[in-house]
Structure 1
Amino acid sequence: MFLSRFDGQAKLLVRALLCGTSGAHRALDVFHRQQRVNPDMSLSVFMETLCQDDVACPRTEAQPLTVKPLVCLFPALFKQNLLSFIYLIHSVLPSTTVLRLLKCLGQDPHPSPWVIALVRQLERNNGTHNDQPLYTPKCSQRLKELSQRLVGFGETGGWAMCFSGQTVESDSQHASGLSELGTQRKRKSSFVTLDSDCEETGQQSKRMKMDFSDSECLNVEELRPKEETSGRSESEAPAETLCEELQQAPDSPCDALSENIKVKVLHIKELLESQTEWDQISLEVFKVLNDCDPGQVEVLCSMLSLPDLPEQALPNLCSSILAPALDFSYSTAATLIKSLLLQKVLSLSEPASRCLVTAVTSLCSRYPRPTCHALIGPVLEEKNIGNSQAELLNRLIEGCLDSHYRLLVLQMTFKILWSEAVLSVIHSLLDSKPDFSEELFTQFSEQLISQGPQFTKSVKFAKMMLTVLTKYNSHVTAAHKHSLQGCLMVNETFLKKSLQAALKRITHT
């Protein structure tokens, strides 16, 4: 009935806090997911609503209507979950906000022992000097009775003797209790909960070796069983696993990322794993890349496992990082392109898929220089590239690179050993008619002469030479002509005569 007082996001938190004894950790999961979507979200409105006065309905007609803070009108378990949740996230809440809520809870005439303990603990955490113990007088009495049973705890073997005594006393009942124990183990363990009289109403956790019926747990964190983690949905596991990876290993590379970037990494991870269309709000998360230095971008790409990203996810990702609001530096773009595309291109054994072609061409059109150095160059340097890689590079040359970058790619081929696939790329570069300088053409002709002997029977090499002699005959000097004559003499293809005729037609004035 109180849900109408809250907005959409706060309603999710309230529902989580009402979910039994696991409500605090359910609310924590909800809060983390909301933070991933909106890192700037605040719980101020949620806390303010809980502190607002509301009319308390009387239990009997004889009782008058009273006004109490809304938080006091919720069940005791909700208050316990709420305080446990605040304890888990107290670092992101202003002390004044927390203390105001605790003051409102002080108006509850019948608080449970758990609420009393948690209120006192939170008051201590927020700078209020509360010397009162966390436990109730009844609990104090039980602790005294327990300590009297542990006689000699300060001597050697005191605690061990106590528990040994418990074991000896129970040995006589061991045989008769086996069947009962087996039955209890089959039951699902539950949390230990306390009513207003501080009585135990739930079973002890399966982790407890012995059952002390007169004891009670004082540490809120001990109420969280290990089974809770395994009970979460599989859809939440990847993001939670990544979150744990980001928080552990103090010397790991992820320490280079700020907390804001880590939150964005989690959000990007969720987007990459989703099968739905991304909305405009989701695209905003990629602006974090503008705030990263080269090292942080590399760590971020590694955390997102971009080399292993399915090709089906490439269109969504590329449309995001190519948004008009984003304009990456050379180093950021190069790192992204290398992480995202290089391994996919190198592993091609058949023509590239439509998704991969779209991604490569769109990134190359927007960031041609980073693509040349981070993708095209490394692919050319790979010794075993095949026709699939050559075909993809030729599409980039023809559709995405202007003359300046085509010459840059051609210069890259001067530093590697040519193969049939590389010859195909060079031929595509020559067909695009880049603007050769005299010095660059001289370097290219030297490569033709030095690498030509291994292609005496290659038709691709012969066709490339024919293109040079026909389309670039104005660049061929007398010195070039003399050197190329010797290269053509060893050619053994059916194009040899055509090559010699084309070279002979080149005249110099």
Structure 2
Amino acid sequence: MDVKSRLHRFDGRSRLLVHALLSGAAGPNKAQTIFNKQRRSDPDFNLTSFLETLCQQEACVHEDALVSKPLVCLFSEVFKRNLLCFLHFIHPGVPRHNLQHLLQCLTQDHRENQWSCVLIKQLYRDIEGTRKGTLLSSKCTENLRGLCERFSDQNTKGRWASCFQEMGTEQADDQTDFSVLPQKKRKSDNLDRDVDDDAQHSKRVKMDFCTAQDEEEGLPEEKEESMRTSQQDHSSASKSQTSSHQSSKVLSDHIKAAVPVIKELLDTESGWDKSSVSALEVLHECDPDEVEVLCSMLSLSEAPEQSLPQFCSCLLELSPDLSHSTASAVITHLLLGRILSLVEPASRCLVTAVMSLCTRYPRPTCQDLIEPVLRKEQTGSAQAELLCRLVEDCLEPHHRLLVFRTILEVSWDEGVLSVIHALLDSKLELNEVDFSLFTDQLCSQSPQFSKSMKFAKMLLSVLSKYQSHVNAACHHTLASCLSFNETFLKKSLLAALKRISLCK
């Protein structure tokens, strides 16, 4: 049974939670956000129906035989881990017998996974309100004890890399799924390369080991995820801080020689010609790390806006086109900060620059400019106006669909509603899953925008332009959505929905 068939087992609200839990590492946080919004709109809402559906028996084929299993066992390991983490977040408000029934179903699964087993134990501990015992397996305990003994001596020469190479070999034998180890290995490699002094290295190793030991001794999944995000942020910050320091080592002489030429052109705001294009050809010779260093040295984010159209015009004259990673770096350094800081409509020069690069490099623009702006806590009217122009004038249908799918994952405000309206007016080619997700999102957002005319007009656009997409489930979801509307357009919205039901 595929995912689409499984989704039909759930009601509209539960389906939105399932979609969130299927969305990778961020699934538990997304599901918690959706659940909180559902509770705000309906204080009596609970997860009883959701959990009961997960525990329903479903027929499936196992080892060439038709057997019956709980529905939750038919989902991927990622979904099950995300589900357990999500329930760990909100377990105090969930009926205990429902949680116990679900855990019993999960323990029947023949596909034993180490992380899932630990999370099941953790949730049992949550229910029982006890922290006795350990979540570590005997193998993990043995490995940690070995690490403690190995690094108790400050003069140890083995270091982290060799240690985890040995542990990696052991894990290949027992097929243990410890995804945290490769991360530690990468971190250790960086330590081995960057620190030559044995005493200083030993101190840093001991600090890192204490962190690793605390992780393995039962930190909840959400703290591990938070720590992983913190490590990534720290890595990005370290990269940013060291790039200028390492520039003399990273960039070759002829690339460094182009820096003052390009900076002078940017500062003078005039004099761009064929020689200017030649100076920018060094971008073709840089790897991704070198491009980051070069952009930092050029201070692209501080270049006068009046010079942006000419600079972008020269970029567009380069042959061949910039690689995806290079275009992403240039767009990020040159434009992202300016757009995020807009408090009034963008200048003509900035608009020209953004539109020219978006037309030539739409995918980097979607991923490294439009998406970060949409993920900002508040999308101002100036940013929304610029994004709407990009949607209407620069993006092809498949790139508009990328933007639309990003919007389904972010929090909505009036600025985001403007972008959605522009996308809908462009007659998006939505499949059944995309439209179902959209209507679920409309339903969850409707209490927040009950008096918003912009939201009401967007709903009217959906009901008038996407009638053919409205199936029975979506019709029910939209009807629930309209029940919250308090604008003078409510009668028109109900009439539009009724016409769709009459045509079915």
Give the TM-score normalised by structure 1. 0.50
Q: What is the identity, as a one-letter code, of the residue corresponding to 1:369?
A: R
Q: How does 1:145-164 map to 2 (within 5 A)?
A: none
Q: Specify the SS of the correspondent of 2:476.
A: helix
Amino acid at match of 2:304: P
1:268 aligns with 2:262: yes
Evaluate the alpha carbon distance shift between residue 324 and residue 286 of structure 1 in structure 2; reply closer, same or farther with a 3 A threshold. Answer: closer
Equivalent residue for 1:459? Answer: 453
Q: 1:433 to 1:287 in 2, by over 3 A?
A: same
Aligned mates of 1:328, 1:489 — CA distance in 2: 50
Give the deviation of 1:347 after TM superposition.
Answer: 1.2
- Structure 1 residues 353-395: Cα deviation after superposition (integer angstroms, max 9, x where no partner): 1100100000000000000011100111111221111000000
Answer yes or no: is 1:386 the counterpart of 2:380: yes
Q: Does 1:479 align with 2:473?
A: yes
Q: How many residues align?
A: 262
Aligned 8 A contact 1:287 1:326 in 2: no
**Alignment of 1:304 onto 2:298:** yes
> 1:294 is matched with which residue?
288
Structure 2 distance, partners of 1:476, 1:283, is: 51
For 1:280 and 1:473, the matched residues in 2 are separated by: 53
Alpha-carbon distance between aligned partners in 1 of 2:286 and 2:374, rounded to the nearest angstrom: 29
Q: Which runs of 5+ in 2 are unaligned?
A: 1-241
- Identify if the C-alpha distance between structure 1 residues 324 and 255 changes in structure 2 by more than 3 Å, giving closer, same or farther: closer
Q: 2:246 is matched with which residue?
A: 252
Whole-angstrom CA distance in 2 between matches of 1:503 and 1:397: 27
Q: How does 1:178-327 map to 2 (within 5 A)?
A: 252-327=246-321
Alignment deviations for residues 453-500 of structure 1 (CA, whole Å, 9 cap, x no partner): 111111110000000000001000011111111111111111111111
Residue aligning to 1:60: none
Q: Which of the two has higher C-alpha Rg?
A: 1
Once the two structures are superposed, what CA deviation does each residue of 1:234-259 show, in whole Å capped at 9, x if it has no partner?
Answer: xxxxxxxxxxxxxx999534421111
Which one has the bigger helix percentage?
2
Q: Compared with structure 1, are the counterparts of its residues 249 and 278 closer, same or farther at alpha carbon in structure 2 (3 Å cutoff)?
A: closer
* Residue aligning to 1:492: 486
Cα distance, 1:275 vs structure 2:
3.9
CA offset at residue 276 of structure 1?
Answer: 2.9
* Equivalent residues of 1:254, 1:299 under 8 A apart: no
Question: Cα 1:290–1:485, aligned 2, differ >3 Å: closer, same or farther?
Answer: same
Residue aligning to 1:338: 332
The answer to whether the Cα contact below 8 Å between 2:265 and 2:271 also exists between their aligned partners in 1 is: no
One-letter amino acid matched to 1:497:
K
1:179-232: CA deviation from partner (whole Å, max 9, x where unpaired): xxxxxxxxxxxxxxxxxxxxxxxxxxxxxxxxxxxxxxxxxxxxxxxxxxxxxx
* Residue among 353, 358, 361 paired with 1:364: 358
Distance 2:273 2:381 in 1: 38
Amino acid at match of 2:341: S
| 3-state SS, counterpart of residue 261 of structure 1 | helix
The code of the aligned residue for 2:322 comes to F
Distance 1:281 1:384 in 2: 42
CA contact (8 A) 1:265 1:304 kept: yes
CA distance in 2, matches of 1:465, 1:251: 52
How large is the RMSD of aligned CA atoms in angstroms? 1.7
User: Which of 414, 431, 449 lines up with 1:420 in the alignment?
Assistant: 414
CA contact (8 A) 1:449 1:487 kept: yes
- Secondary structure of 2:447's counterpart equals helix
Normalising by the residue count of structure 2, what TM-score does the alignment of the two structures yield?
0.51
Structure 2 vs 1, CA of residues 407 and 254 (structure 1 numbering), >3 Å: closer, same or farther? farther
Whether 1:470 and 2:433 are equivalent positions in the alignment is no
RCO (CA 8 Å, sep 6+): is it higher in 1 or 2?
Answer: 2
Q: Report the alpha carbon displacement of residue 279 of structure 1 after superposing the two structures with TM.
A: 2.1
Distance 1:280 1:251, change over 3 A: closer
Paired amino acid for 1:325? S
Give the distance between the partners of 1:475 and 1:254, measured in 2 at CA: 57
Please tell me the residue identity of whatever aligns with 2:459. M
Aligned to 1:194: none
Q: Is the 8 A contact 2:342 2:382 kept in 1?
A: yes
Q: Report if aligned partners of 1:385, 1:421 keep a CA contact under 8 Å in 2.
A: yes
Task: Tell me by how many angstroms 1:346 deviates.
Answer: 1.1
Contact 1:277 1:316 in 2 (8 A): no
Closer, same or farther in 2 for the Cα pair 1:307/1:250, shift >3 Å? Answer: closer
Deviation at 1:424, TM superposition (A): 0.5
Structure 2 equivalent of residue 407 of structure 1: 401
CA offsets per residue over residues 50-73 of structure 1, 9 Å max, x none? xxxxxxxxxxxxxxxxxxxxxxxx
